[in-house]
Amino acid sequence: MADATNAAMPVPDTAKKKHRSAEFNALIGLVGIALIFEILGWIFQGQSFLGNLQRLQIMILQVSVIGIIAVGVTQVIITGGIDLSSGSVTAAAAMIAMSFAQVGTYERAVFIDQGWVDLPVIIPLIVGLAVGAFAGLINGALIAYTKIPPFIATLGMMVAARGIAKWWTRGQPISFPTDAFAAIGQGMMPVLILLCIIALFVFLLRFTVYGVHTYAIGSNMDAARMSGINVERHLILVYTIAGLLTGLAGMIIAARGLTAQAGMGLMYELDAIAMAVIGGVSLSGGRGSVVGTFIGMLIFGVILSGFTFLRLDAYYQEMIKGVIIVAAVVADVWRQKRRALAA
């Protein structure tokens, strides 16, 4: 059918040319960076960088928790917003969930009066998700109804949630979770959870009303409103879901380390945003995908383990990370300019 339309009228060459997607560019970047480490590996370490299953496992494990946050942040950025509260909400959700997940017989348990009985694991899980979702709900409601910039709303939540994380136990770390709770962070479990979430959100953003409206709001909020989309309600939903995923990430870190601390998750929000941006999600909204963010995660992972592999200081790692983030945003700005000129 589409071919018939094409044949019926002359199409200028420019219209036929497929626009190279930001995801494709990120993929080229990923392959390029991996190859550079591969070559450097043979030169300096005398071994393959990629040809090591254990290293690849660690690589994805390292980014899986922030990756879960990044999926939520991706849809927030697609609406034209930003979420700076993820790191702090991670800590608040982890602390509060962990306090319900402690082994009942542990004498210094936060809720020692829980009767020396382990609570069923579903309770801390629901609590953790609820804390994250509630933080997201407040972010979304502030942005939708007070019309303050998302940057400010989530900055406030960033500070407040950190305060809640500290206040919950007056700064004491919480340890000794039940085995059932600890299981969500053990082995390759975080990676499995990440992959399920990526699959779910690729589907949500591409094949559901939720996805179309998310892109529409980031693309042209007035058009979305004129078309009958309840923009306020949708924004609240998007931020709540981002918070929910952040709560989940917090519990996974706590379960993995068998402890929760008020200071955990520091700077996670920036790493999550960076993964999305490197993966081609446009900070001006409307463009990008979870697949792109996944590629951004892998680039992060490759850089992290590549530097360890070459036994280089972590300082260089951060410097390079900074350069790549800026380069990704510059690339996005250039793409937009080219498009503006083409139109």
Partner 1 sequence: MASDKIILKTEGLTKHYGGVHALEDANFELKDGEHVAVVGDNGAGKSTFVRQITGVEQRTRGKIWFDGQEVQFDGPLEAREAGIETVFQNLALADDLDVPSNLFLGREKIRFNLGPFSILDKRAMREETEAGLKRTGVKIPDLDNSIRHMSGGQRQCVAIARSATFVSKLIILDEPTAALGVQETAQVEEIIKGLKARGVPMIIVSHNLRQVFDLVDRIIVFRRGRIAATLNAKEVDGNEVVAYITGVKGAEGEKRAAYA
Give the binding site for partner 1 (CB under 8 A).
1-2, 5-6, 8-9, 11, 15-16, 19, 204, 207-210, 212-213, 215-216, 218-220, 222-224, 226-229, 234, 237, 286-287, 339, 342-343
Measured from the CB of residue 63, what is the shortest distance to partner 1 in angstroms? Answer: 27
Q: How far is it, in rounded angstroms, from Cα 303 to Cα 310?
A: 11
Measured from the CB of residue 194, what is the shortest distance to partner 1 in angstroms? Answer: 20
Find, among 82, 83, 73, 93, the residue nearest to 265 by Cα.
93
Measured from the CB of residue 9, what is the shortest distance to partner 1 in angstroms? Answer: 5
Rounded to 5 degrees, what are φ and ψ at 172? Answer: -70, 135
Calculate helix-pair angle for 22-40, 314-342, nearest 10 degrees.
Answer: 150
The contacts of residue 168 (CB under 8 Å, 6+ apart) are: 92, 95, 96, 99, 110, 262
Q: Which is nearer to partner 1, 236 or 273 (CB)?
A: 236
Q: Which is nearer to partner 1, 216 or 274 (CB)?
A: 216
Measured from the CB of residue 26, what is the shortest distance to partner 1 in angstroms? Answer: 18
Q: In this structure, how many other beta carbons lie within 10 angstroms of the beta carbon of residue 55? A: 17
Q: Which is nearer to partner 1, 204 or 312 (CB)?
A: 204
Say whether 118 sits in a helix, a strand or coil: coil
- Are 72 and 245 a contacting pair, CB within 8 Å? yes
Torsion angle in degrees (nearest 10) through CA of 196, 198, 204, 207:
-100
Measured from the CB of residue 228, what is the shortest distance to partner 1 in angstroms? Answer: 4
Q: How far is it, in rounded angstroms, from Cα 240 to Cα 249?
A: 14
Measured from the CB of residue 128, what is the shortest distance to partner 1 in angstroms? Answer: 22
Q: Which is nearer to partner 1, 41 or 288 (CB)?
A: 288
Give 234-278 as a DSSP string. Answer: HHHHHHHHHHHHHHHHHHHHHHHHTEE-TTTTTTHHHHHHHHHHH
Q: How far is it, in rounded angstroms, from Cα 48 to Cα 211?
A: 41
Calculate helix-pair angle for 122-141, 86-99, nearest 10 degrees.
Answer: 150
Beta bridge partners of 175: 259
Q: Which is nearer to partner 1, 44 or 334 (CB)?
A: 334
Q: Which is nearer to partner 1, 81 or 177 (CB)?
A: 81
Q: Which is nearer to partner 1, 80 or 250 (CB)?
A: 80
Q: Which is nearer to partner 1, 2 or 117 (CB)?
A: 2
Measured from the CB of residue 282, what is the shortest distance to partner 1 in angstroms? Answer: 9
Q: Give the number of residues written for the chain.
A: 343
Q: How far is it, in rounded angstroms, from Cα 288 to Cα 62?
A: 23
Q: Which is nearer to partner 1, 8 or 53 (CB)?
A: 8
Measured from the CB of residue 323, what is the shortest distance to partner 1 in angstroms? Answer: 28
Find, among 93, 115, 88, the residue nearest to 104 by Cα.
115
Measured from the CB of residue 11, what is the shortest distance to partner 1 in angstroms? Answer: 5
